[in-house]
Each structure stands twice: as C-alpha cells, then as structure tokens.
Structure 1
Amino acid sequence: MSFGFETTAAEVLSGVDLTGKRAIVTGGASGIGIETARVFASAGAEVTIAVRNTEAGERVAADLIADTGNKQVSVAPLDLSEQDSVRAFAAGWDGPLHILVNNAGVMALPDLRRTPQGWELQFATNHLGHFALTTGLLPALRAAQGARVVAVSSSAHHFSPVVFDDIHFERREYEPWRAYGQSKTANILFAVEADRRWSGDGIRVNALHPGSIRTNLQRHVDPAELERLARETRAGEPRRMKTPQQGAATSVLLAASPAVDGIGGKYYEDCNEARPHTAGMTGVSAHALDPDAAARLWDLSYVLIGA
C-alpha cells in the first residue's frame, strides 16, 4: 500500500504488532498526540503519555484504555520548558524504550517569553526540552536494541534557520514565526545529528511535518493571522487541512512502520521523504539538513543544558 496525504495513522500500522514495545509520546493528551498514542495502544504497545497537565493526561489515558482495550497506557508529568522536570522524567524511566515521539510543542507565542535561564521559550521547549529528554533517555533507547526517535517538526522550518549569533533574541527584534521556525529547524537538525551519532547503536532518528491540522497548538495564534500567513507563503498552493488521524500518520510511520526500517536522518511529509524545497511550504530547506549546522547545534545544546 502506498501512503500519502490522506493516509491515517491507523492505516499506516494496519497489521503491525507492537506487543512488547514501549513508547513515549510527549504532548500525548492533545491534538495529534492523542491519535499517535491511540494507534500505538491499538497495536499492543505499552504507552506513556508525557504531559504538563496530568489531569488531562489521565482523562485521555482512560479514554484510550476504553477504546483500545489495552490497559498499558499511563501518564507521567513532563514540562519541557523546565529542565528539572525533564531530568526527573528521564531519571524515573526504567527499562528499555523502543519508541520516543517528541510531539509536544508551542507555536508562535505573540510576545517574547523567556525561561529562568534566559532562553527564548519556543526554542527552550521545542528543541532544548526534547534534546535533554532524548539524550537523558539514551541508555533506555540503546537497551531496546532497535529504537526509533521521531521529532515532530513543521513546514514552518522554512521561516528561519538556527540563528547561532542570536538564538534567544537578545539583540534582534522578536518575531513569533521566526522564533517558531528556528525551533522547528532545530528539530530537524537534531534528527540529522542524533542519527549520525546513534545509528550504530540501532537507534534511528527522523523528523517530519505532520500537515496543517486544527489543534490546541494554534491557541496563541489568531485564525485570521493563520489565513494571512497561508496566503503569503504558499506560492499559490491550496491550503489543505488534515484530520488528527491523518496528521498523526507520518509520526506513526517513522515510529513503528516496517516500511522505513533502516532509514534515519531524514525529514518526511505526507508519509514520504520530502523533496528539496523550491517554493511555497512543501519540501525541506537546505538549512535544516546541513550537517555542519546540526553538529554545531548539538554541541551548543549540550553546553546550554549543562550535560
């Protein structure tokens, strides 16, 4: 079966048995995170929903158990903007980890916000939080002897490379979409470098654009602003919306489908490897696959998180 724009997550994993596999989905209590966790649970995996709001997580977990009949769905607290929370989560994990979907994120915060360390909040949450989480879980990923890590990025990576001279907007004027785009480029660069470093340990890492989906991720963005941005950036392409079931498909493909065995360091969209960016919002920009930028970001991230 060929997969594409309309493919759902359930279709991607049709016939795939994940019994005995352990999966973590960050942000698994909203948007495409719910559907990602649901499909893993339906396939028999043990699923941990890692979320800030554990009450919402418990409600989702109860629904997933009822829907799938899989009682191995649990919730754990994780605030990606707080490094202490990330370290506590990683330290509390016991045993192998077969699937890690770095799905949580914040989008286009209208005003510049910083963490106590002075980091711009979108970069701190979307990249540094997931960087610390994944590196902290590295022993568990190695123990799985064939783990997969998935970085949920965005077509918004076209808006900005990682601006190493001023990542945290200390000198340049803050702009919400450039900040978000920089963080999404960082997600892809992380996949490039992590896969280079870890593929020899059987850990494959890929990034993806899930598509345009109406979820809580857009809670900080005026709908009129989204439409304006779509008109200005899509170079005549129609803005096609996906359901959460379709939006989770590429994450699930990279996390668990045998169709991508042995593949790493790539960026996918619509369940296929993306072509080089030429115009509009499709494809992958060269700055997001630059191995030198990926290595530089990795070294900088280690310094920032104090690893």
Structure 2
Amino acid sequence: MAVVEETGATVTAAPRPRGGPLRSVRDSLVVAKRNLLRMMRIPEMVVFGLVQPIMFVVLFSYVFGGAIMVPGQASADATVYREFLMAGIFAQTVTFATAGAGAGIADDMHKGLIDRFRSLPMARGAVLTGRTLADLVQTALTLVVLAIVAVIVGWRVHDGVLKALGAFALLLLLGYAFSWIGALIGLSVRTPEAATSGGLIWLFPLTFISNAFVPSSKMPAVLGHIADWNPFSATVQASRQLFGNPEGVVSDAWPMQHPALASVLWSLLIIVLFRTLAVRKYRSATA
C-alpha cells in the first residue's frame, strides 16, 4: 500500500492486518516456528546456553557447598546447601536467557529482518511475541537438562511431582516475563554485542542481591530488605517451598510470606509493562 505524504514522498506501508486476536495468535506461532527452526539449525546456541548453568551448579555445589551454612542447620552441610541452592540456579538460568533474547532481536534489527516483518500485513506485536515464545521453549529445554544435572549432584524434590511442576511453571513464567525486558533492550541498541552487555549488566545485581545463593537474613539490613522485595527472590522462595527444599530464615516481608502469589503478580506486571513498551518501540524502530 502506497501512502503519499504532504511533501510528495511516497512511503510503503504494510496493509492493515485483519482477523483480530486469532490472526495475532497465528502470526505469533508462525514467527515462533521460524525461530525454533533457526535454533535447531544452529545447535551450538542451545549447547552453549547449557554450559553456564551447569558450571554454576557444579561450582556452587562442590566449591562453596561445604562452607556455607543454611540458617536452621547446626553446621555447614553440602547436601542441604545443594537443595537450598538449586531453586536459585533454576531462576538464574531462566532470567539470564534475557541476554540471548535481546541479542537475537538486535541481530534481526541489524540485518534488516525486523523492517521486512514490519512491511508485512502481520499483527502488531506478533514478531516479538513469537520470538519470546521460542525463547520460552528453549528455556524449558534448558531447565529439563539442568534438573537432570541437579539430581546427579544430590538435589531432590520432597513434596511430590505436581508441586514440582508448579515450581517449574513459576520459573518459566518469570523467564517469559524477563524475555520481554530483553526484547525491549534488543530493540533499543544498535548491535547484538550491545544487547548482550546491556542484558547482563543489570542481571548480576538482580540475581545476587536476592535469596538465591544466601539467605537475605545474612545480608546487611538495607540489602536484605531489597532482596526480600526482589521479584527474583519471590520466585526462588516459592520454588523452594514447592520443591520441599530448605528455605532458611524467612523474613516478615509480604513477598516472602506469600511467595507464590508474589511471583505470579511480579511476573504478570513485568509482562504487561515491558510488552507494552517493547511493542511501542517495535512500531517506531528502524534498523
């Protein structure tokens, strides 16, 4: 469709898509399939994505496991710490996928692929939704492998399969929410390298100022309060409860008293906010 502006210039605009929500779902699934096929053709993307979380499991389990004492225990016990640790490693894995999501979108922008999608009669936001859904599938596969490694090093689920599946659902919801932050970063920078750096620089303080690796009760008061209200901490705490793993000393902060509900609310809030910002950025972005 050609549009003639007052200046006399002719601009090519995509026809308005029709079909409503069903069209949006179909377009999103088509884009998700495209990204999944791309991942299958480049298996090293998945393999390298597994290396870091497996390294964290092994290093924290065997290097720090015997030196860190979980509150409530008489002495440092490597087995107890491994069970305390794993929910944090799972959560860190799903959130660190944000950097890869941002880099992928930035790469598509750099190659002009986003502009091609924008010229098609597709539902607005379908490109980003499809990309984040594909990243969610990859994250789920990573969690499966990581859970197997965790079992090998001594991690166990104590409250049944259904609750464990609920914990993994909360983790994937958090990962999906953070993938929208990655999408916004990817649309806001010029190169994939910048997206990777921008995606990691804020994730380290987010994950380490939390209850993932040490209980918040062992932190200075200010950092402990921040950790208790950290969305990341809520998901970690909820996962520990559902897995039946050691929780350490739980603070009186509302998210720590109701971690499952807090995890869902935080994740939904992040999705709504950053999806809105990302889709708005997508509409105006140029390669």
TM bucket normalised to smaller: under 0.3
| Structure (1 or 2) with the greater strand fraction | 1
Structure number, greater radius of gyration:
2
Name which structure has the greater RCO, CA cutoff 8 Å, separation 6+.
Answer: 2
Alignment TM-score, normalising by the size of structure 2: 0.28
| Structure (1 or 2) with the greater helix fraction | 2
